[in-house]
A and B are shown apart, each in its own frame.
Chain A
């Protein structure tokens, strides 16, 4: 993996985003974490619209289901039906343990579902395990901007 991993956290509760940040503060991956609190903002980020034109495309999205305007399931539907975005792995990270939420998330194309543990230590280890799996073991597709830069190199 080239450079530090980029992770986008979509969670309506900023306190949760802080916890994700705290969880990954001292790991070896040194992930860059960005957080947004609603789906519209998240889509603008992923599509690099508005103030996000210069941001890097994330390698992983950590998504909470309880979003305000559009719920997490709708957001999942949108990015998994967008040919430019659907290759980005999405980990649903939700406090819901209901089977219907879990099943629905997978049906909509979530790459993984993890329930937010209520205990701090378990919360930390869950987030670290997510990071370790996606950036320590899994192979990820090339990012669009990486492709562009490698094409540019060939042209040179």
Chain B
């Protein structure tokens, strides 16, 4: 028995004839580009007739490896297309959701402002819940937009001096660093190939987390980098509350939070953004941590051109 399939991967019709020899044997696959010319007879022709026609045209069966390659290429193409569609979907959904949600949020606020204390106590409470829900959803949508932007806009690939990036982040965060009493130490950091804005976000999220999840002891954060082939491996260490081993994988997933919102604020998007940024450049991000002793966040990024002497 044989199966005939026609697929259309690149606007060119492709004719596939699978011949099964017997149980356990690999089928022979006939594959040819079909240019739209006449097929041998009726489309409902028997596989036997087709086979005869293919051999008469001296069309040989495909090699299994070549078949696998075309198959792989096709799957890759499909995957990157569906990925693109997903990015687009996340962006459009979050962008278009913002507008009606703004209406819900402002009008529940307006209701609460105008009618607080004029209905009954339940009504006041309900309006508060509705406003709170709308405002939280707004924050979530903003986060989703930020996350989808990382992949969609395709960051630049430039050689960026991480020393300057970290200095800028520390300057931007100076008030929360001061308030937390954190002592931050760092070695001279190398240059990597990435987008400057993404790097700012990456360092800011990781240092921001170290500050947010600090323990009672005075907070100490250190930033270091080590060469690892064509990559640099960065380590951001803290002496904060740490993360239980079984949660260490989860923390990089969108909207995964390990603590109650009342304990630590935030939506659980920061590390998901970090992961997306690092992976966009072929790097990895992970954490080594012991609850009670602190965390070491590590990530790798491709090396950039070394900084010019005297530029520092």
Contact A120 B106, beta carbon cutoff 8 Å: yes
CB neighbours of A119 from chain B (8 A) = 105-106, 109, 135
**Count of chain B residues near A, Cβ 8 A:** 12
In-complex Cβ contact of B102 among A22, A95, A121 (8 A): A95
Contact A120 B110, beta carbon cutoff 8 Å: yes
Q: Scan B142-179; emit 1 where CB is below 8 A from any A CB, else 0.
A: 00000000000000000000000000000000000000
Contact A95 B99, beta carbon cutoff 8 Å: yes
| Range, interface on chain A | 10 to 19
A73 to chain B, nearest CB (A): 17
Contact B103 A13, beta carbon cutoff 8 Å: yes
A94 to chain B, nearest CB (A): 10
CB neighbours of B284 from chain A (8 A) = none
| B228 part of interface (Cβ distance < 8 Å) | no
| Interface SS, B side | helix
Q: Scan B39-80; emit 1 where CB is below 8 A from any A CB, else 0.
A: 000000000000000000000000000000000000000000
CB contacts under 8 Å to A, within B86-123, are: 98-99, 102-103, 105-107, 109-110, 113
CA distance A66 to B102 in the complex (A): 14
CA distance A121 to B135 in the complex (A): 13
| A113 part of interface (Cβ distance < 8 Å) | no
| B28 part of interface (Cβ distance < 8 Å) | no
CB neighbours of B102 from chain A (8 A) = 95, 116, 118
Contact B106 A123, beta carbon cutoff 8 Å: yes
In-complex Cβ contact of B98 among A13, A19, A95, A120 (8 A): A95
Contact B106 A118, beta carbon cutoff 8 Å: yes
Question: Which 5 A/B pairs are nearest by Cβ-Cβ distance?
Answer: A120-B109, A120-B106, A118-B102, A15-B103, A118-B138
* Known contacts A95-B98, A119-B135, A121-B109, then 5 further A-B pairs from the complex at CB < 8 Å, ordered by chain A residue: A16-B103, A95-B99, A116-B102, A118-B105, A120-B109
